[in-house]
């Protein structure tokens, strides 16, 4: 029963392979990460960060589905407690990620005047 409750992983992906993934403020990987799929009902706050700024975030909850119902029947009701599941694949929607090559525009007022 305990073996069945921890089987499977949910894959977290971000479109930018250089984005760091944080799950509940804990670093999990760069570009892709994994979390245990089945367990107690729980929320995850997942963030994608580039250059220390958040470029995307999502909140994911474990849900009760058909496999959860089957586990509940096989375990005489204990599955109603521990067999909630996250989606198999979780995609973090990101906004325009800042790149390292992006530099602030040069201020023309800081340049020396050019006299002709």
Task: Per-residue pLDDT tens, the chain, 116 aa: give them.
Answer: 444 544 688 899 998 888 999 999 999 999 899 998 877 788 999 999 988 888 999 999 887 777 767 777 777 766 666 677 888 899 998 876 455 555 566 777 778 888 76
Domain limits for position 50:
2-93
CA distances for 109 relative to 8, 19, 104, angstroms:
58, 35, 14
Examine residue 106 and state whether it is found in any structural domain, yes or no.
no
* Domain count along the chain: 1
Q: Is residue 108 part of a domain?
A: no
**Is there a domain that residue 14 lies in?**
yes
For residue 104, tell me if it sits in a domain.
no
Length of the chain as a residue count: 116
In a domain, 100, yes or no: no
Contacts 24+ apart (CB under 8 A), 71-77: 71/4, 71/5, 75/1
pTM over the 0.75 mark = no
- Establish if 19 belongs to a structural domain: yes
**Is 109 part of any domain?**
no
The Cβ of residue 88 has, within 10 Å, a number of other Cβ atoms equal to 10
Assigned domain for 20 exists: yes
């Amino acid at each position: 029963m305990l073996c069945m409750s921890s089987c499977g992983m949910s894959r977290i992906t971000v479109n930018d392979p250089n984005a760091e993934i944080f799950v509940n403020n804990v670093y999990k990987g760069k570009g892709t990460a994994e979390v245990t799929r089945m367990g107690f009902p729980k929320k995850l706050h997942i963030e994608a960060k580039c250059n220390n700024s958040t470029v995307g975030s999502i909140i994911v909850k474990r849900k009760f589905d058909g496999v959860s119902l089957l586990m509940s029947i096989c375990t005489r009701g204990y599955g109603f407690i521990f067999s909630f599941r996250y989606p198999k694949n979780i995609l973090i929607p990101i906004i325009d990620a800042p790149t390292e090559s992006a530099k602030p525009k040069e201020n023309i007022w800081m340049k020396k005047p050019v006299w002709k």
